[in-house]
Chain A
Amino acid sequence: MVSKVLVLGSGAIKIGEAAEFDYSGSQALKALKEEGIETILINPNVATIQTSHEMADKVYLLPLDIKFVEEVIKKEKPDGILLGFGGQSALSLGVALHDSGILEKYNIKVLGTPIEGIKKALDREKFRETMIKNNLPIPPSKAAKSVEEALKVAQEIRFPVMVRVSFNLGGRGSFVAWNEEEFKGYIVRAFAQSEIGEVLVEKYLKGWKEIEFEVVRDKDGNAVAVACLENFDPMGVHTGDSIVVAPSQTLTNREYQLLRSAAIEVAEAIDLIGECNVQLALDPKSEEFYIIETNPRMSRSSALASKVTGYPLAYIAAKLALGYTLDELLNGVTGVTTALFEPSLDYVVVKMPRWDLEKFENAKRKINTEMKSIGEVMAIGRNLHEAFQKAIRMVGIGDELIGKYYESEESLEKVMERIKNYEPYMPMHIAKALKLGASVDEIHEITGIDKFYLYIIEDLVKIAEALRNPDEETIREAKKLGFSEEQIKGLSKDSIKESIPFVKQIDTLAGEVPARTNYLYMTYDAQENDIPYIEKPKVLILGAGVFRIGVSVEFDWAVVNFANAAKKRGYEVIVLNYNPETVSTDWDINDKLYFEEITLERVLDVYNFENPDGVIAFAGGQLANSLAKKLEQKGVKLLGTRGTSVDIAENRAKFSKLLEKLNIKQPPWIEAKSIGEVLAFADEVGYPLMIRPSYVLSGTAMKVAYNEKELKEYLSLATKVSQEHPVVVSKFLDAMEAEIDAVSDGKRVVGVTLEHIEKAGVHSGDATMVTPYRYLKEKHVKKMHKIALELALALGIRGPFNIQFLVNDDVYVLELNLRTSRSMPFSSKSRGVNLMELSAQAVFDGKLSLGSDYKYYEIPAKAFAVKSPQFSWSQLQNAYPFLGPEMRSTGEVASLGFEFEDALLKSWLSVKPNKMPRSNILVYGYDKDVPTLLETVKFLESLGYNVFTLEDSLSYGNALSKEKAVELMKLGKIDLVITSGYAKEKDYFIRRTAVDLNVPIVLDANLGYELSKAFAWAKKNCFEVKELSEYYGPKLQRVVSEPLEELV
């Protein structure tokens, strides 16, 4: 048995690797802790729940890079390592650690599936050989190591072919090609996305069913298939972008068992110890099937399967890795049965991805083999109709499966075009097409989607049409099939009697054995509740819902940490959330988990059934917070800041009035209803202007205009300005941006001040943040703190809040959020103080334990902390990479350091695919960014780097033509690209080539400059390798900044 185990996390959230690894890592850490094993976690993802001392004994916020990991190993001397809980990143890193001899050198045992087994799964050619050796069918395919070889294979197998990339995630680089020309267009990029320069060319199984099994296997070879997931979409759509249904719906027992047995044989073939997922393709017209791939690690699917079944795969996998056998482990749900069983469901589940493609200029809307979705939801119902409808509500696109879009004026022709193009949210398009007269057969023919599912959508269309003239029976039936009150009202133009749905329990055994856990969902398709009402002190915490651009794991961190704080105070904690990737939807974390919609209707249902002491709406971010006022109006008791105050902060006009009253400055703005009004405003305040339309025709929703021409162009081409669609225009200030993350109890404020490295105009979520501040003047900081206190007192803030400021020669307030913010996990971990615990003090205890009344208290800084955004450009085909007022990053990382440069570099290096540049750097840019970029070029040259610029940009130094620059990138001769601003017409291909080829790219001049300074630092210094508490602990080596105590 091992005594000290190193766990590798998955780093920043990116498309293809999301919060599911926070969930699985957290479970693994818990499983180790129970055994008394000391745990060391390396994960720079500061927003995760796992990167805390509650979960791991030692937490390193460091790049998941072989050198950094070796340093940690040297220092900590672990005797075991877990590779299967940090996604593909951790697994690939683990293989690299093994291959470089580091694991052997330090005598570290790989727990779970051996490295050889992992390689059999990950390396396409080894996988193929292994399957053939074990008589497991695989599609005609061959691995290739060069473009020429790949093309030859494709010609042999014959088109259409599917190209898969070895050792990568999110299907990046993979594609389907119907002919040679298409093939040639994509193959270079495919190779660039493989960490080992290998692709697999295989026969494209068009229209085949895609089935996944989650298999667990112990050291004695005992194995069970915990879940079977069936894709709604046939082969050709990445699993991450597929709508997934569980359990399987269209398989006969024979088909199910054939595939199940094959999946278990795959697990055996790779010597699995732990958990793996196996993807299979089944002919929709026979029992012929193929093994597609296996992932010998926790995955998106395994997180989903855990939530689908109630079987904690990661926890069990960790125990199996330690040497337990399945029959020795208990099923935590029943407490009496063991882990050796296959869960039986008496409900159905639909997983629906969430896409945010409209946020990205030029991004393709077609759903295909490359994952593009940002988040996912899981809907539970007693029937599929219900689950599909819930799922569409949950993805939070402001519509229903049968809703606004269904009722909109769009021709059948146009809808069929969307169906042919395979656009996001297919069930909505299918419903609309069926309403407009398309047939199930026709849609099946085009999409290959099993008619079983199409019939379900057809049912919904029929009932929707019947609802236009309903009787009671139809309404009852509609509710059973998942129609919301809103939907029924909308279709029937009639208000309906409200009733509470029934509460059902998920128990892993379909009711056969009582469950001792409260993993719950609600349905109208039932006749009784599974749980009784029990009166006791309770709080209902609303979760963050679906992850999308702007809402990610940081809000789950807030929910879980607040829930823990509430639990400590003796409350029964009820969490309402529906995101299967998260820790907050782990039934093991909360007293009660309602896996349900966060809509007004459902929150009230839960509230009315549970009758809690109050509802927490501020922890889950924008979605939950936006319900605050409506809930309050319905008589719900909100804990924390009042709903009316939330409304003031969210309502631009009301908030302006408040600021005026308090004599706090904000950039001038108007809500204009005509272009004339906008122009008049421009005359008054001058350019540049920030424009936020309420209706967007194309492209991005926010824009900075530097002159009248740009303004007019944007207003006429990209938006519509009218009475119904007003546009908000504000003066855009050339300023620094700063924020305060704080908590108030209504009398005092405790906070953390953050400074952005990028100038104003870059969304806060895309900015590189540093704390303590470096450039802000003390008088401005004092003013910020004063404003924070004034606002807290004026609005009676009780709980967490965040203020964004612009600072030039004065301080301006940009916005106030009366909820947790994206940066709060970072603020908390940068100072070693948990802002959610403080929030619980404010809400439950009535008084903060820090600071003093009518004062602002800054939590003292002990080191520099830098947070960097992670983008997923390469995954978003064709999207133009740039920073602007709209957020586009998908995740974040952070590092701490006693020196700023150390923290900045470690943080930046934690972002993929960033690496320290060896020699060649391309720096270019236009307009206002030129001076900073020029300075950067000169500085980098002084460090000995070989710096290129572009012919049309800086008019300095070694200028390349754009063609030459692209060519050098393709040859792997450019190590880093630094640019700034928005110049799509000039440099689309440069930026796109860089991200497609995984060349690190810096998109802001200020950041480029700071990084070049940090490169200089790195030439003379070594990176600090320290665990979090070494920064917080009493034996601090030195204090980098005097705490700004009680400045007000």
Chain B
Amino acid sequence: MQPSLIAKFKNPERSNWQGHLSSEAYLVLEDGTVFKGKGFGSEGIKYGEVVFTTGMVGYPESLTDPSYKGQILTMTYPLIGNYGVPSKEIKENGVPIHYESDKIQVEGFVISKLMKSNHWASKKSLDEWFKEEGISGIEGIDTRALVKKIREKGVMMGALVVGDYELDEIMEKVKKLSYDEMNFIDKVTPKEIIVHEPENSNKSIVVVDCGIKYGILRELLKRGFKVIRIPYHYDPIDVLEEFNADGILFSNGPGNPALLKELIKKAQEVIEYNIPTMGICLGSQILSLADGGEIYKLKYGHRGINKPVKDLKSGKAFVTTQNHGYAVKAQSLNEFKVWMINIDDKSVEGIYHPNKPIIATQFHPEASPGPLDSTWIFDVFSKMVKGEAHGF
């Protein structure tokens, strides 16, 4: 928008169509494609794997989801920012309810249209939040065109450029980067043990925190568990014994699980130890790898809140939240059995150990964002931890 035009209005910042900004912005993809749009948030260059999610609500949750570390997130839904940025002070058991961690985790944010917000719980606009946290966003691009490109070519590395930079150099760098070979967990795992204790807690869970979503914490705390979050390189069994805890949870997290050799070894020990254990997303992949299973990379991942899953044990089917780029090969599992599958592409969505109290899901039973139709999986885990159910 030309400055002369903005000057025509008394209150230019109050507008959707010519407000926020703004400098020119570019999304540069490793295949040479460049999308031009308008920047918001902070200026700068951010690199990451360009992925998309099809959820139509829950952008604050997605933005703060540590699993998106190392990724530039595209929203397929075109209007973003509608309800602003909810207050972090709205909490449940001490955990903010609209956040999945305490900051924005994505490397960059790609949307079609940034909206002027209105909501009682909102404290600021998306643009303000991005500026505060030094994150860049791009709007005004045809996100559907981008999604179709990713759908056809698979996920790609890319750079989000807000401001006046030399694109050729950036493109060169993008081509050299590989998401699959980078470790992002170090950026999201806690530095030391963090303990959350709800009122009237009885049992405790050790969480191997590879970048846990607050949603998982909220589900555990809601069920009366004391939660002991440990850095992912700690030994969970040591902590379990030290705290006299009752179960272990391998959390979600970013990146390629095959790189996490030490963690896989610890997971083998946990399986051996035979204690109620749950894995979510990355955690499920870690348990599979510990079982001698193999993982593979999906062409463009499963990211959305409308993903159909079928429970092969009960025959029930339901809609889940998913955010993963890798999946487990069903035939490669040894002791573990397939519990659930994705109805559309038949990929593994849940595994269980036939003789031990161990379950894991590829999808996110805590949802957040997404439908609450699979939170019952925490009830299953809870029963195992409380000794009301043995194995599965």
Q: A-side interface residues toward B, CB under 8 Å?
A: 220-222, 224-225, 247-254, 256-257, 260-261, 264, 284-286, 325-327, 336-338, 340-348, 382-385, 450-452, 455-456, 458-459, 462-463, 465-466, 471, 473-474, 477, 481, 504, 509-514, 525-528, 530
Indicate if B380 sits at the interface (CB-CB under 8 A). Answer: no
Given contacts A285-B120, A348-B79, A459-B17, 19 further A-B contacts (CB under 8 A): A221-B316, A248-B56, A250-B83, A254-B97, A256-B58, A327-B317, A337-B344, A338-B344, A342-B305, A345-B77, A346-B144, A452-B115, A473-B1, A477-B18, A504-B144, A510-B76, A511-B52, A525-B112, A526-B145
The interface-forming segment of B168-176, B241-249, B365-373 is B365-373
CB-CB nearest 4 A-B residue pairs: A253-B58, A510-B76, A527-B142, A253-B369
The interface-forming segment of B153-161, B189-197, B283-291, B307-315 is B307-315
Interchain CB contact under 8 A, A341 and B76 = no
Partner of A345, one of B56, B60, B115, B308: B56
Interchain CB contact under 8 A, A253 and B57 = yes
How long is the Cα–Cα vector from A285 to B86 in the complex, in angstroms?
13
* CB neighbours of A220 from chain B (8 A): 315-316
Interchain CB contact under 8 A, B78 and A382 = yes
Partner of A252, one of B18, B121, B145: B121
Interchain CB contact under 8 A, B57 and A256 = yes
Interchain CB contact under 8 A, A348 and B78 = yes
Given A252-B86, A455-B16, A528-B142, is A344 in contact with B112 using a C-beta cutoff of 8 Å?
no
B7 to chain A, nearest CB (A): 11
* CB neighbours of A222 from chain B (8 A): 316-318
* CB neighbours of B86 from chain A (8 A): 252
Partner of B308, one of A251, A254, A338, A527: A338
Partner of B370, one of A253, A284, A341: A253
* CB neighbours of B116 from chain A (8 A): 452, 455, 459
Pull 19 A–B residue pairs with CB atoms less than 8 Å apart, ordered by A.
Answer: A220-B315, A222-B317, A252-B83, A253-B58, A261-B373, A327-B310, A337-B308, A341-B343, A345-B77, A346-B78, A452-B116, A458-B14, A463-B17, A474-B5, A510-B77, A512-B76, A513-B151, A525-B142, A528-B145
Indicate if B108 sits at the interface (CB-CB under 8 A). Answer: no
Indicate if B273 sits at the interface (CB-CB under 8 A). Answer: no
Interchain CB contact under 8 A, A286 and B368 = no
Interchain CB contact under 8 A, A509 and B118 = no
A273 to chain B, nearest CB (A): 15
Interchain CB contact under 8 A, B371 and A260 = yes
* CB neighbours of B113 from chain A (8 A): 382-383, 525
Interchain CB contact under 8 A, A526 and B79 = no
Indicate if B331 sits at the interface (CB-CB under 8 A). Answer: no
Interchain CB contact under 8 A, B143 and A346 = yes
Partner of B142, one of A224, A256, A526: A526
How long is the Cα–Cα vector from A347 to B5 in the complex, in angstroms?
28
Interchain CB contact under 8 A, B78 and A340 = no
B38 to chain A, nearest CB (A): 11
Tell me how many residues of B have a C-beta within 8 Å of chain A: 67
Task: Please classify the interface of chain A as helix (H, G, I), strand (E, B), loop, or mixed, using the class held by over half of its residues.
Answer: loop
How long is the Cα–Cα vector from A474 to B119 in the complex, in angstroms?
29
Partner of A511, one of B76, B97, B118, B369: B76
Interchain CB contact under 8 A, B304 and A512 = yes
Nearest to A481 among chain B residues (CB) is B17
Nearest to B83 among chain A residues (CB) is A252
Nearest to A260 among chain B residues (CB) is B371
Nearest to A336 among chain B residues (CB) is B344
How long is the Cα–Cα vector from A248 to B118 in the complex, in angstroms?
13
How long is the Cα–Cα vector from A477 to B1 in the complex, in angstroms?
9
Given A471-B5, A528-B145, is A341 in contact with B308 using a C-beta cutoff of 8 Å?
yes
Task: Please classify the interface of chain B as helix (H, G, I), strand (E, B), loop, or mixed, using the class held by over half of its residues.
Answer: loop
Interchain CB contact under 8 A, B147 and A346 = yes
* CB neighbours of B372 from chain A (8 A): 257, 260-261
* CB neighbours of A284 from chain B (8 A): 120
Interchain CB contact under 8 A, A342 and B147 = no
How long is the Cα–Cα vector from A865 to B86 in the complex, in angstroms?
64
* CB neighbours of B17 from chain A (8 A): 385, 459, 462-463, 477, 481
Interchain CB contact under 8 A, B83 and A344 = no
How long is the Cα–Cα vector from A530 to B145 in the complex, in angstroms?
8
Interchain CB contact under 8 A, A450 and B118 = yes
How long is the Cα–Cα vector from A465 to B60 in the complex, in angstroms?
34
How long is the Cα–Cα vector from A599 to B98 in the complex, in angstroms?
44
* CB neighbours of B147 from chain A (8 A): 346, 510-512
* CB neighbours of A462 from chain B (8 A): 9, 15, 17-18
* CB neighbours of B148 from chain A (8 A): 511, 530
Nearest to B62 among chain A residues (CB) is A253
Nearest to B344 among chain A residues (CB) is A337
Interchain CB contact under 8 A, B306 and A341 = yes
How long is the Cα–Cα vector from A798 to B119 in the complex, in angstroms?
58
Indicate if B117 sits at the interface (CB-CB under 8 A). Answer: yes
Given A452-B115, A526-B145, A527-B141, is A253 in contact with B61 using a C-beta cutoff of 8 Å?
yes
* CB neighbours of A514 from chain B (8 A): 151
* CB neighbours of A451 from chain B (8 A): 118
Partner of A346, one of B76, B120, B368, B370: B76
A130 to chain B, nearest CB (A): 21
Interchain CB contact under 8 A, B97 and A471 = no
Nearest to B143 among chain A residues (CB) is A346
Interchain CB contact under 8 A, B79 and A343 = no
How long is the Cα–Cα vector from A509 to B344 in the complex, in angstroms?
12
Nearest to B8 among chain A residues (CB) is A466
Contact with A along B52-75 (1 / 0, CB 8 A): 101111101100000000000000
Which residue among A250, A327, A456, A504 has the maximum number of chain B CB atoms within 10 Å of its CB?
Answer: A327
B121 to chain A, nearest CB (A): 7
Indicate if B295 sits at the interface (CB-CB under 8 A). Answer: no
How long is the Cα–Cα vector from A337 to B54 in the complex, in angstroms?
15
Interchain CB contact under 8 A, A257 and B367 = yes
Given A336-B344, A481-B17, is A383 in contact with B78 using a C-beta cutoff of 8 Å?
yes
How long is the Cα–Cα vector from A347 to B142 in the complex, in angstroms?
11
Interchain CB contact under 8 A, B144 and A249 = no
How long is the Cα–Cα vector from A32 to B56 in the complex, in angstroms?
33
B318 to chain A, nearest CB (A): 7
* CB neighbours of B118 from chain A (8 A): 250, 450-452, 455
Interchain CB contact under 8 A, A384 and B112 = no
How long is the Cα–Cα vector from A513 to B150 in the complex, in angstroms?
11
Indicate if B319 sits at the interface (CB-CB under 8 A). Answer: yes
Indicate if B268 sits at the interface (CB-CB under 8 A). Answer: no
* CB neighbours of A337 from chain B (8 A): 308, 343-344
Given A383-B113, A458-B15, is A286 in contact with B79 using a C-beta cutoff of 8 Å?
no
A350 to chain B, nearest CB (A): 12
How long is the Cα–Cα vector from A481 to B1 in the complex, in angstroms?
14
Interchain CB contact under 8 A, B57 and A248 = yes
* CB neighbours of B77 from chain A (8 A): 247, 344-346, 510
Nearest to A509 among chain B residues (CB) is B54
* CB neighbours of A286 from chain B (8 A): 120
Interchain CB contact under 8 A, A459 and B16 = yes
Partner of A510, one of B54, B308, B317, B318: B54
* CB neighbours of B2 from chain A (8 A): 471, 473
- A-contacting residues, B363-386, CB 8 Å: 367-373
* CB neighbours of B120 from chain A (8 A): 284-286
Indicate if B23 sits at the interface (CB-CB under 8 A). Answer: no
How long is the Cα–Cα vector from A474 to B112 in the complex, in angstroms?
18
- A-contacting residues, B98-125, CB 8 Å: 98, 112-113, 115-121
Indicate if B82 sits at the interface (CB-CB under 8 A). Answer: yes
* CB neighbours of A343 from chain B (8 A): 306
* CB neighbours of B115 from chain A (8 A): 452, 455
* CB neighbours of A526 from chain B (8 A): 142, 144-145
Given A252-B83, A344-B56, is A383 in contact with B112 using a C-beta cutoff of 8 Å?
yes
How long is the Cα–Cα vector from A760 to B361 in the complex, in angstroms?
74
* CB neighbours of B119 from chain A (8 A): 250, 252, 452
A445 to chain B, nearest CB (A): 14
Interchain CB contact under 8 A, A383 and B319 = no
Interchain CB contact under 8 A, A512 and B54 = yes
